[in-house]
Amino acid sequence: MDQLNVLVCDDDKAIVDALEIFLKQENYGVVKAYTGTQALQALSEHKIHLVLLDIMMPDLDGLSTTIKIREELNIPIILLSAKSEDTDKITGLNFGADDYVTKPFNPLELMARVKSQMRRYTTLGSIAHKSGVLKTGGLELDTDAKELLVDGEAVKLTATEYKIMLFLMKNMGRVFSIEQIYENVWNELPCSVDNTVSVHIRRIREKIEINPKEPKYLKVVWGIGYKIERY
């Protein structure tokens, strides 16, 4: 397999240089950036497999950068922050990050988290994406054939149901509100869409879940929205 590359983005050059040393000791390639805008530029120019991203940065902060990255890529994102409050961690994870590390951090612990996310991505994310397949557990979405398989069995979806599944599976583990789902799938601003989205979600569950009332894959986060669980 080709070398795995990590994008390190922090406005503190000393931290970036230190992380570069530890990452290269683990045989990762390193691309450096010091602002969110530079990070997005680096992602467009290099093959990146994981992002280490500081939250508090000038120009474009880490949370805004995370949102931008998730519009195009499903690579692992580990946020770095001096803030340790649970609300900050939850916000970061809900914005699409995969992990959250509080500064000052133990470099060995951070490297362990990097390795863990890399293993998950290369076994489930990268390989599946290259073959045109998005996979979680027994759920497989073939984006080339536009076909959904549940435990190897094809499931017939309507065009709208397919678009919903494609959107959620491209962002596995991330929670989206009803309005966000509507806007991304229907490509128009949401307006009294609660029932529209909920009806489609219910129909999808009836097709993919063993017990739609206790779903394994398409889950509701009460008061927030829906997500596809990552396994």
Locate the domains of the chain by residue range. Answer: 5-130, 133-228
pLDDT band at 42 (very low <50, low <70, confident <90, very high): very high
H helices of 171-221, where?
A: 178-186, 194-208
Pairing relation of β-strands 99-102 and 133-136?
A: unpaired
Provide mean pLDDT across the span 184-203: 80
Helices (H) then strands (E): counts for the chain? 9, 11
Provide mean pLDDT across the span 194-212: 90
Does the structure show a pLDDT above 90 at 19?
yes
Pairing relation of β-strands 139-142 and 133-136?
A: antiparallel
For the domain spanning 133-228, the CATH number is 1.10.10.10
- For residue 213, count CB atoms less than 10 angstroms from its CB and return exposed for 0-12, middle for 13-18, buried for 19 or more: exposed
Provide mean pLDDT across the span 134-157: 88
Q: Which of 62, 84, 82 is nearest to 8 (CA)?
A: 62
User: Residue 97: its pLDDT value, please?
Assistant: 86
User: Residue 228: its pLDDT value, please?
Assistant: 94
How much of the chain, in percent, has pLDDT values that exceed 90? 47
pTM assigned to the model: 0.56
What topology is assigned to 5-130 in CATH? Answer: Rossmann fold (3.40.50)
Residue labelled with tokens 């999808």: 204
pLDDT band at 70 (very low <50, low <70, confident <90, very high): confident
